Chain A
Amino acid sequence: MRTLFFILQKEFLQIFRNRSMLPIIFVVPVVQLLVLSFAANYEIRNLTIDIVDQDGSSWSRQLRDKLLASGYFSLHRQTWDPKTAYNDLAMDRADLVLTIPPHFERDLVREDEARLHIMVNAINGSKAGLAAGYASSIIGSFNRQLRLDWLALDEDDGPARIAVDQRYWYNPDMNYKYFMVPGILGVLVTLIGGFLSGMNIVKEKETGTIEQINVTPIRKFHFIIGKLLPFWIIALFELGFGLVAGLLVFNLPVEGNIVWVFLYAAVYLLAILGLGLLISTFTDTQQQAMFISWFFLIIFILMGGLFTPIESMPVWAQKITLFNPAAYFIKVIRMVMLKGSGWADIRYYFGIMFVFAAVINGIAIWNYRKTV
């Protein structure tokens, strides 16, 4: 026990002695959390639109006003010439082009049918889909209004309809930050906890100091605990620090008991630290360790449901995410904070994480004995 204490003391000293590391461990993550949470936003506004109004009728003007009044679109240029508009689209100056052909109003009255053209810059597929969706629904409601006005109809005269009432639970204002901040926090904690510890062990290997430790009476078990525990503590501290910052800045809701988040993080970090340890057992240099960690980290982040929902992945990819510890952590932290999930709801995930931690650490320690 005394040995362990001294090792811990040494490790903490080494971590805190490195002055440039301190801000990287404590300041950079929190600044990123605060800044980047603003970046993570799928809400599409200020789509720039070019309107090619070749009709110039009162209805075409009404349609234009309706589009611009929606708040989704801002007019970049109104023109007669489709070529100019097309050029704007090609040069990224406009996100979409609405063309109102000549005789739009006349055709609508005489033929009961008129056609509009929308061209969308679809390089960003999801954005283009949303933009087209917004435009179509505005045009649709313009169309309904037109019918009502022109035919002097009344809502109740129309055909039978299903009235859909939409309720948004747990985040009625659809505040995307409530969803993102806990997720990003999860990633930062993962970075700090797991990958630093793994790198730290390889460092001893690379500089040869591990040999010296091996010849001292320190047991391997003590050495591993000494390497992992400091980062476990630092990461949990980081989590608390980030949560407080998030609460203060973003006014994050805490529906459930925050204790579950910390307890879960404690188990989760065991798994992540184990992964770091595992990586360090079969690498010789920090460079190799860094690459492997980076590789896993990118997969954890992009397949962890942080930015793109896991539900939107194909089934085989969803199966892969079952082996992604970060996906569970991100899910649980969101469940507890936003939905108020308690023990009964998350115990299954606790179980999974315990198994993860046990398996990964088991393999790591087994492999460690063999290699060193």
Chain B
Amino acid sequence: MIAEPRILNIGTSLFADALAAQGATVLHVDWQPPGGGNPRLAAALAALERPDVEQANRQAIERLLQARPVLVGMGIAGEIIPGMTQTTVLHAGPPIQWDQMSGPLRGAVIGGLIYEGLAQSEEDATALAASGAIRFVPCHERAAVGPMAGVITASMPVFIVENRAAGNRAYATVNEGLGKVLRYGAYAPDVIEKLKWIAERFYPALREAIERSGGLDLQALIAQALHMGDECHNRNRAGTSLFIRAITPHLLAGSADRETVARAFAFISGNDHFFLNLSMPAMKCSLDAAHNIPRSTLVTTMARNGTEFGIRVSGTGDRWFTAPAQTIRGLFFPGFTEADANPDIGDSAITETGGIGGLCMGNAPAIVGFVGGTAADALRYTLSMYELTLAENPAFTLPALNFRGAPTGIDVRRVVETGILPIINTGIAHREPGIGMVGAGLVHPPRECFEQALLALVEEQRP
């Protein structure tokens, strides 16, 4: 018999109050109608509360948590990214064609075509992009990830990150820094020039250094950066510093001339976001290992192309579930307002998908003001993310929560059930091509993506 019941109260708070008045142990659950009260979603949720789904999720989360992302080298996109041709342009987010692209993505495509020498001017590039001769493919479908516009063309150098547990790899370009940069849709001559310098001088030197190092354990670097006040999406200052520390001896011991090495250091240390292009592929190769597990409700991709937000789920394989991209709540650089902002863009939400970024906001008090709110708000954001996730990552811990593991592995079911949406820390691009970054802030994925995915998961369950 129950000696002293310990009670969860789901529904009216009146009963919790009455129990508390009796001195009983009671925890009130702030219940919300699952699926926003939509009976079809509620039925789908009920259909997915099954042991085989739990089993599939256990397998998926195990693969995600066991991933060991290591920076093993660099290469040229066209030579190492599968299926890449001279006329392939990889881009951030779900699939999109030229006529649907937003300003910053168009700008980056123009810049990419000029960089490749496929076009000489903006007009040329625009005509070529619209001609049908260029194949636009999501980075995510080629084991790659790209911040903001995320454009990768054939001759760009990319980092190679290998998941030592599963053997799969992920790729990302070198982060170009702030200001006028390709990923924010800028394509002026100085943008192209910087990309050329990266390919011709920086890449050979850094590639050699990485190879000399025998591989840099990105999981360890991320774990340390998290303890140093980064969340590894919108704040990467600690991660970038740690990277410099790790790479310095190898860069100095390499064959690159002194001027190149000096400029390489200046380039990395002058760009607080350098590490983002390492934390992203680290999460990508970890999540790819957990992708394509039948019945699993784990979200393995969240990405935006500036027009649409799209997610992919382990159990539904390579299907995208998309909805219009949201506008971002945030702060703007002087001279810019919300009217200048492009809707949400970039693959960088891969960090949140992998359990860092906005999900670890409680770890990064320094960026909280930038994205609006107090340190307590940041902790609350992180605490609420545990409602959505399948696990806590023992490798990534949160000092502010007494070293509790980061909330990891977003479950489509929990998102629809609770109505809580993942929180994403993100930069804001100007809506016109060629201008660049105008601010940073917070955004949520559209809930429709998760609702569609949930219904599709139920469909897949049918024999």
Our verdict on whether A and B bind, yes or no, reads no
